[in-house]
Amino acid sequence: MNCLHVPQMLMPGEGTDLYKWSVIACDQYTSQPEYWQETERLVGDAPSTLHMILPEVYLGGEDEEERIGRIHASMRQYQADGTLRKLPAGFMLVKRSLDGGGDRLGLVVEVDLETYEYRKGSKSLIRPTEMTVEERIPPRLRVRQTATVELPHIMLLIDDPGHRIIEPLFERTGEFEQIYDTDLMQGGGHIAGWLIPEGDETERLMKLVEGLSDPEYFKEHYDLKEDYPLLQLAVGDGNHSMATARAAWEQIRKDLTEEERERHPARYCLCELVNIHDESLFVEPIHRVLFGVDPEKFFESAKAFYEGRGCEAEIKEEGGRPEAAKEEHSFVICGAEGDRYLKVKRPAWGIAVATIQAFLDEYLEKHPESRIDYIHGEEVVRRLGAEEGNLGFLLPDIEKKDLFRGVILDGVLPRKTFSMGEAQEKRYYMECKSIQA
């Protein structure tokens, strides 16, 4: 079965300042309102995707409903006044040059939400790599339910170690129409896109992606001794946005005929496909910061938690870098008094992030005065963790070669297990599509 569908994308008309049009994913810099204030200053009143998203730093704010109203008004205005124009149906070939060096190669496509399921135990062809926190869907659903336009920051991963699908297309960019070529604000690097029109080429690409879940290839490639549900695409970034799209579609489809379901635009979701073996793609751990915590009581609770599960836990003043070995998971904990090191020997969990998250989940349940945030990049963790009443947690590196196999064998990983690069390397909004019939 094929998960892909050929979209008809919307792009801003000629003369639009794409530097101001394209802004970073709404789920970044959630503890740094100054980033979004600077984005607002750079954009001003210019046409921009900023006016069609709700940065999650503002979720739950007193003006949330007012912001959502402005978002929907901007969408309608951009469609009515020609700010957004329809492209011919096709895929978008994307080259993202990162400020830190290297190019990330991708393909913007549409996927069928009927082939994706985010709930625990999912056996769908498209699956999350990490646990979906269903409580995070309703506030996002409020933005999407009456939206007329979809803007994607979802990255779907393909496991193509032979670089057969996406990478060869960049030797042929001269065959395709270039749609955009622009710098990105606030350290985002540079991005260019070429339209691959619907036809033989898009059909060939869909067959190649479908082949990744051919039963014989699948079993041999992942060295499986028994049958497991086939996996074609894994969600690398933006799973809660994709889960929101799926939840919205579930509401819409209830009132549609079978024929209407087949062609309704909300059934399909824009995403960027990226090869997990892309040379610029680094799978990095997502660190944690706890706010409103008493460090000494926290460490006492940690020791009791792990020892109660048959592990040996040590809190040390000296240690080094975080590590994930078979017999020991260790973490650097940054606080106002400096670094400490949590070492969990004989861990009851297979991966280090599960070891720390299992305790943090229980701790937060027992301490409602505390809250957690998930941070990309060590520097921010250290800065936030050094503030009185906070603790920052640095996690060990992750081997990306095991990501797909881990999802196949063990199911979804704990939430916020890994990140695809630093915050400024996340997907910037560019392409759009209509989601109303």
User: Smallest Cα–Cα separation from 100: which of 279, 277, 322, 321?
Assistant: 279
- Mean pLDDT score of the chain: 93
Residue 133 banded pLDDT, cuts 50, 70, 90: confident
Which one is predicted more confidently, 320 or 108?
108
pLDDT tens by residue, 262-299: 999 999 999 999 999 998 888 888 999 999 999 999 99
Is the confidence at residue 407, as pLDDT, over 90? no
Weakest-pLDDT range from 32-36, 319-323, 393-397:
319-323
pLDDT digit string, tens, across residues 76-130: 999 999 999 999 999 999 999 998 789 999 999 999 999 999 988 889 999 998 8
320 — pLDDT class (breaks 50, 70, 90): confident
Structure confidence at residue 65 (pLDDT):
93
**In the structure, what pLDDT confidence band is assigned to residue 6 with cuts at 50, 70 and 90?**
very high
Name the E strands within 198-306.
Answer: 233-237, 268-275, 283-285, 287-291
E runs forming strands in 87-245:
90-97, 103-112, 126-128, 149-150, 155-158, 177-184, 189-197, 233-237
- The pLDDT, as a whole number, for residue 394 is 97
Q: What is the pLDDT of residues 8-45, one digit of tens each?
A: 999 999 999 999 999 999 999 999 999 999 999 999 99
User: In b/e form, how buried is each residue of 72-105, taking b as 16+ CB within 10 angstroms?
Assistant: bebbeebbeeebbeebebbbbbbbbbbeeebbbb
User: What does the pLDDT read at residue 314?
Assistant: 94
Average pLDDT over residues 165-175: 97
Q: Where are the domains of the chain?
A: 4-283+422-434, 287-394
Per-residue model confidence (pLDDT) at position 422 = 82
Cα–Cα dist 370/354, whole Å: 20
**pLDDT at residue 170 greater than cutoff 80:** yes
pLDDT at 81: 96
Contact 107, 167 (CB under 8 A): no
Q: Is pLDDT of 206 > 90? A: yes
Q: Is 206 exposed, middle or buried (0-12, 13-18, 19+ CB in 10 A)?
A: middle
> What number is the average pLDDT over the span 48-71?
94
Confidence category of residue 301, pLDDT binned at 50, 70, 90? very high
Percent of the chain with pLDDT over 70: 100
Checking DSSP bridges between strand 4-5 and strand 103-112, what pairing results, if any? Answer: antiparallel
Q: What is the pLDDT of residue 376?
A: 84
Instruction: Work out the average pLDDT over 213-236.
Output: 93
Read out DSSP for 387-429?
STTEEEEEPPP--GGGHHHHHHHH-SBPTT-EEES-GGGSPBP
Note the pLDDT of residue 352. Answer: 87
Assigned fold of 287-394: Double Stranded RNA Binding Domain (3.30.160)
Backbone angles phi, psi at 54, to 5 degrees: -115, 100
In this prediction, residue 15 carries a pLDDT of 93
Please give the pLDDT value at position 307: 95
Query: What pLDDT band is residue 134 in, cutting at 50, 70 and 90?
Result: confident
* pLDDT confidence of residue 366: 96
- Name 128's bridge partners: 235
